[in-house]
Structure 1
Amino acid sequence: MEDGRCSFFLTKKKRFCANSTLKGSQFCGNHNPKTEDRRVPCPIDPSHFILLENLEAHTRKCPLYKQVLALKSQSFYTKGINAGVEDEDGDATLSDPVPCTFNASESISSEYNILLEDSEGNELSVISSGDLIITSDMKRHAIYKMSIADFLALLSKIKSIHQAIFLNIEVSSVMPEACSRWLKKELKQALPFQEKHVLQQASILGNMEKFGLLQMPAGPEILEPGHNDSSESHSTTPAVVEFGAGRGYLTHMLTSCYNIKKVFLVERRSYKLKADRSLRQEQDVILERLRIDIEDLNLEAVESLSCVPYLAVGKHLCGPATDLTLRCCLREQYHNNKAVQSLSKCNLRGLALATCCHHLCQWKSYINKKFLRNIGVTKEDFHAITWFTSWAVDADHGSTLTDVIDRGLHLPNIDDAGLRGTDVESLVKNMKDLDRAMLGLICKEIIDIGRYMWLQDHGQDAKLVKYVSSDISPENHLLMAKCRNPV
């Protein structure tokens, strides 16, 4: 360490900070221990912290400030348009809530991001614009504070609910002929992803074709990527909007196998190694990227999509992204009991969304809170259910998970030997792996069945399938829908 340099050691970089020290201190302004208790996350980019007294000045010169302004200036940006509300279906619940409370400060800033702590001083969450995000740590903390009796009552309640709403979700792994060149690796260029992703994407497209959302391309053979077909036979093929598109590899396969010529990729992040260049140059696809959070996307304001029939697709839409997408695509259906300001200028022909990361789901954004209330699920129950879903993906995804599907859930009994005097955390850790996995699977199904039923209740023919086996991906639910009475 050089004289006059900060004495703070950066563990990730394995060196001391190179900034100059403050007068009379061994540390720079960023690492001065006396200021740590006054630091808050930047409201524009929470990955870095600033002094509370410098907050207003910093927000005007933060490196991401101009980028955020550019995102918000887009014509299709409407803050929180698809976010949902806490009590959109009323305040009444049909059952008494199981004791399950969150110890978080209620003094939340409505203007800036701040840290929340529990009663023991543990960091729990970051607040953005006054919205409380219930993290997995917060959910676990609340569950572990429950009594043994209340915890067992909650497990019994979840089991009973699943039995009451049981839906036979078939395994539908469909490998369509249209994707044969990809599946057989008969492509001129190297595939940009692993084989398991090809199998997942092919089955998504195969199930869409089976469900009537896609049609097998006309002609004696399937076109491979790079072949330009300008025939008029595909002029009526709908456009595709991929939500949570990432690098666009699902769209890459979709356009090459089914001759889609107009696509919109919705993604809030910037990625390298995207499929965009191949789509534009080799496949002659008209492509438009919408860099925006799905929560803020007003699809009706996208001029190039106005009056254009389209399909909505998404692979592994994490947590609440599935609910946000449903609101985004079906705004009139979502507001069917409220005044709709204007008729939709978009024409949704169908959707296929592969759900994912149920442990990230939030009460506010969930699309069918009315369904949950009708089956006796409270907000606190919902938080617990979403946390349990992670147990399904923690399991062995080979033969073990197959065994789980074929057996029932065994609930621990309060009179079991060794259970008296323990706490919930100990009980959870001593549960059998198969029972934990089964509970996780049940909770995943409850969440997705609610989404399926919302689509059914709002004029859609819906279907929920397992589009690949669990050894390929434990996140294997595919939610599909199409309008019962298309215009």
Structure 2
Amino acid sequence: MASHCELWLPKKKRFCANPPLADSQFCGNHTQRSDSKWILCPIDPSHSVLEENLDSHLSRCPLLKQTQSLTSQPFYQRGINGGREDEEEEENAACKDSIFTSEMKRNAVYAMSAPKFLELIAKIKSVHSSICSKIPESYKIPEACSIWTKTQFDRKVPYQEKHALQQASILGNLEDFGVLKKSGFTCDAIGDSNGELEKDSDISTVVEFGAGRGYLTQMLADCYGIKKVLLVERKSYKLKADRSLRQKESLVLERLRIDIEDLNLNAVESLQGVAYMAIGKHLCGPATDMTLRCCINEHCDGHTSEAATGYLRGLAIATCCHHLCQWKSYINKKYIYDMGLGKEDFNAITWFTSWAVDADHGSELSAVDSSAQFEIVRRSEKKEVVGMESELLSGVGDIVRNMEAIDRAVLGFMCKDIIDIGRLMWVKQQRLVKSELVKYVPLCVSPENRLLLATTMIN
């Protein structure tokens, strides 16, 4: 029997060094199993397993214990914030949990006829001009964050200037919105679970969604007086801010490793009867919609209960990765329908958003005054469409290839605006005092520069 796998590796110019399986010339990675089928692990879909080995794998999957522990928690409720398809689509769906991937969206766009594609582009521009008025720029670097923006903090903490500027502007906008004060997070007197007024105006609890390593909360803890932090993140990270945060004696830190889609925030024991502020930096795709449901508790039934927003005092979500957005989870389908669009159009719009970030367009777009950007591109697009209409026999692929990169980028930003304005309109329909969508950093810092703000406080 060979001492090593018999598969030749051309790039390394040697055989695989792994030991072979019993009664085989190859190792487990290279054994030929043409008659076997690989399927996604039902516990952790990030990896696959042979169908014939599924039963044995389920008993030893690395995430089994974690999943069992999570599902036993009172705040775990599978799919509570996931949204749902339209009823007729849900009945016909082969799999309700299926994800419409970027590749599927791209294929659907390229399968369009040229006239239909051009009609969709025209409709996007029409919707944007009628609904998406100029989104205000709001670049805020508060004095309270100077220890970070001027790099006066502990140098052992991982630091990148562009992230520090984004984090500082998020907090600066919250301060300008009246949610944060220099002395810390403040709120008006609120009712507790028994209807009595809480007189402690120093309540300061923050829930960070999609927390990652937690450095947005780290800056918040260093620069403002907060007492309690809840970090929500589904993945495990190294170099987290948790260790530094736990060294703060007056700060209570709790981290929940859970998907936002499955989090019932009202059932988290540490938040019972507590006013909190919700924050999130770059909540990818559907995570923004799920966070809005989680905080405002609209869920799938379309009704907002009084208790749902009872303790939410402020919200700041930096949206991101719009190309990952899903029709099922999008928070404001009615708005899409009202604009004369549908599910297929929405999927195309989400795919177009990738054009805004597929290259460094910051310098090109920044060179044009923001108020004139779209007018200049609209004029160039009008000329371009005239040329396209004379070549309708060409496919969508040819039309896309003939578009200038800057024109594709601006169309991508238009689509981002349409998606985020829909979210803002949904928030405005809820019982919140004030809400706004702003550009919180320049494009040269990050093309993902939209920030959704809301507050339930009367300033």
Shift of 1:83: 0.5
Q: Aligned pair 1:34/2:33, yes or no?
A: yes
Q: SS of 1:452's equivalent?
A: helix
Q: Residues 328-359 of structure 1: CA distance to partner in whole angstroms, max 9, x if unpaired?
A: 00015975647x5x944961001000000000
Which among 131, 136, 140 is matched to residue 170 of structure 1?
Answer: 136
Which among 459, 465, 473 is matched to residue 438 of structure 2?
Answer: 465
Distance 1:331 1:370 in 2: 18
Counterpart contact for 2:362–2:447, Cα < 8 Å: no
Q: Aligned pair 1:87/2:76, yes or no?
A: no
What's the counterpart of residue 99 of structure 1?
A: none
Matched letter for residue 182 of structure 1: W
Counterpart contact for 2:286–2:325, Cα < 8 Å: yes
Counterpart contact for 2:366–2:444, Cα < 8 Å: no
Within 5 Å, which residues of 2 pair with 1:391-430?
391-403=355-367, 405=370, 406=373, 407-409=376-378, 410-411=381-382, 412-413=384-385, 415-416=387-388, 419-430=391-402
Distance 2:44 2:299 in 1: 34
Matched letter for residue 408 of structure 1: V
Shift of 1:464: 0.4
Moved more, 37-46 or 411-420: 411-420
Counterpart contact for 2:81–2:299, Cα < 8 Å: no
Q: Aligned pair 1:436/2:408, yes or no?
A: yes
Distance 1:392 1:345 in 2: 34
What's the counterpart of residue 194 of structure 2?
A: none
Within 5 Å, which residues of 2 pair with 1:37-436?
37-87=36-86, 130-217=96-183, 236-282=202-248, 284-331=250-297, 335=301, 337=303, 343-344=307-308, 347-403=311-367, 405=370, 406=373, 407-409=376-378, 410-411=381-382, 412-413=384-385, 415-416=387-388, 419-436=391-408
Shift of 1:264: 0.3
Counterpart contact for 1:8–1:17, Cα < 8 Å: no
Shift of 1:6: 3.0
Shift of 1:35: 3.5
Q: Residues 82-110 of structure 1: CA distance to partner in whole angstroms, max 9, x if unpaired?
A: 0001127x88xxxxxxxxxxxxxx995x6
Q: Residues 176-205 of structure 1: CA distance to partner in whole angstroms, max 9, x if unpaired?
A: 111122212223444422011111111110
Q: SS of 1:6's equivalent?
A: coil
May I ask how many residue pairs the two structures share in their alignment?
Answer: 433
Q: Residues 395-441 of structure 1: CA distance to partner in whole angstroms, max 9, x if unpaired?
A: 43333122564223315336549835421112112211111011001
Distance 1:262 1:321 in 2: 23
Moved more, 276-285 or 295-304: 276-285
Counterpart contact for 2:295–2:309, Cα < 8 Å: no
Shift of 1:21: 3.8
Distance 1:11 1:159 in 2: 51
What's the counterpart of residue 187 of structure 2?
A: none
- CA gap 1:30/1:146 in 2 versus in 1, 3 angstroms: same
Q: SS of 1:384's equivalent?
A: helix
* Percentage of matched positions with identical amino acids: 55
Moved more, 438-447 or 34-43: 34-43
Q: SS of 2:123's equivalent?
A: helix
Q: Answer 1 or 2: which has greater helix percent.
A: 2
Distance 1:469 1:15 in 2: 52
Q: Residues 346-379 of structure 1: CA distance to partner in whole angstroms, max 9, x if unpaired?
A: 6100100000000000000000111111111100
Q: Residues 441-482 of structure 1: CA distance to partner in whole angstroms, max 9, x if unpaired?
A: 100000000000001011221110000000000000000001
Shift of 1:161: 0.9
* RMSD of Structure 2 on Structure 1 (CA): 2.8
Shift of 1:10: 6.9
Distance 1:190 1:29 in 2: 42
Q: SS of 1:35's equivalent?
A: coil
Matched letter for residue 63 of structure 2: L
Shift of 1:46: 3.2
Distance 1:282 1:70 in 2: 28
Distance 2:421 2:271 in 1: 30
Shift of 1:271: 1.1
Counterpart contact for 2:82–2:290, Cα < 8 Å: yes
Moved more, 62-71 or 362-371: 62-71
Q: SS of 2:208's equivalent?
A: strand
Shift of 1:70: 1.8
Counterpart contact for 2:361–2:406, Cα < 8 Å: no
Counterpart contact for 1:234–1:259, Cα < 8 Å: no
* Uncovered stretches (5+) of structure 1, i.e. residues with no partner: 92-105, 111-129, 219-232
Shift of 1:64: 2.1
Counterpart contact for 1:317–1:356, Cα < 8 Å: yes
Counterpart contact for 1:6–1:28, Cα < 8 Å: yes
Shift of 1:272: 1.1
What's the counterpart of residue 450 of structure 2?
A: 477
Shift of 1:485: 6.5
Shift of 1:50: 2.4
Shift of 1:26: 3.1
Q: SS of 2:180's equivalent?
A: coil
Distance 1:448 1:236 in 2: 33
